[in-house]
């Protein structure tokens, strides 16, 4: 009996502590949601002028606060889950648990609504900013097009002239290279013709050169056979 009373008392103490933590988180989330909503409205209004960079990036602050609120909502969800695992002691405790769950659901809906509104407002302002920049670009282009058009034509004419000059230089280099190669070809042909004439005029010289080469090859072969035979005899003598 005493053990049951102790267990019931422990459950009540845990339930009271969880409800206290839940109320503390709910108050903190409620305050942050109010500031989060104001920050979302102010950030959306400041996104209109994209040319001016603020000292503090409101979008970065918005995302940081969103992360903090998500963490608090996760903690509150965990506490509600822990309370759900306790045995409800009467209808009042059951009503309290359900009330905390409803509050968490409302906070999640409000948080998602604020974040979605901010994202939609940011996309709209980005689109308007792009359209405004496009209009300003076209207006500036029209105002200076009369002055820049002549300069553009002059620069384009200069580019064409430079390209034409470079092309003519390349063609001249190619023609000189072709003439040089043709000259070398004719020179080689003349040298070959002279060599053929010399070989035709002196056939005896060719035969003599061939005999000399044949004698050299024969002497080299004989010398190689003698060296090989001597080496064989030396190896045979060394091993026996």
Contact 73, 111 (CB under 8 A): yes
Considering 120, 143, 166, which residue would you say is the last residue of a domain? 143
Query: For the chain, what is the domain count?
Result: 2
| Residue 179 domain flag | no
Contact 69, 32 (CB under 8 A): yes
| Residue 173 domain flag | no
Considering 108, 128, 143, which residue would you say is the last residue of a domain? 143
The verdict on 54 and 129 lying in the same domain is yes
Considering 103, 118, 143, which residue would you say is the last residue of a domain? 143
Single pTM value for the model: 0.47
Dig out the tokens for 52 from the structure.
């001016």
| Residue 70 domain flag | yes
Distance CA 193, CA 188 (A): 9
pLDDT of residue 17: 83
| Residue 183 domain flag | no
| Residue 232 domain flag | yes
pLDDT of residue 210: 79
Domain of residue 233: give its range. 210-239
| Residue 77 domain flag | yes
DSSP state, 86? S
How sure is the predictor about 53, in pLDDT bands with cuts at 50, 70 and 90? very low
């Amino acid at each position: 009996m005493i053990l049951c009373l102790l267990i019931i008392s422990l459950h009540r103490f845990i339930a009271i502590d969880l409800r206290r933590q839940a109320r503390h988180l709910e108050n903190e989330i409620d305050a942050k949601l109010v500031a989060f909503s104001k920050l979302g409205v102010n950030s959306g209004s400041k996104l209109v002028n994209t040319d001016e960079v603020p000292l503090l990036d409101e979008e970065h602050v918005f995302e940081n606060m969103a992360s903090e609120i998500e963490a608090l909502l996760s903690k509150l969800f965990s506490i509600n889950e822990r309370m759900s695992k306790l045995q409800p002691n009467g209808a009042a405790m059951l009503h309290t648990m359900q009330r905390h769950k409803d509050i968490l659901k409302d906070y999640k809906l409000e948080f998602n609504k604020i974040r979605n509104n901010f994202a939609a407002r940011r996309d709209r302002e980005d689109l308007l900013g792009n359209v405004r920049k496009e209009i300003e670009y076209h207006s500036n282009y029209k105002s200076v097009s009369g002055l820049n058009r002549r300069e553009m034509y002059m620069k384009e004419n200069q580019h064409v002239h430079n390209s034409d000059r470079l092309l003519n230089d390349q063609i001249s280099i190619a023609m000189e290279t072709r003439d040089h190669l043709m000259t070398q070809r004719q020179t080689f042909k003349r040298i070959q013709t002279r060599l053929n004439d010399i070989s035709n005029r002196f056939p005896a010289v060719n035969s003599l050169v061939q005999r000399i080469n044949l004698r050299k090859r024969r002497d080299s072969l004989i010398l190689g056979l003698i060296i090989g035979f001597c080496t064989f005899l030396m190896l045979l003598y060394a091993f026996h």
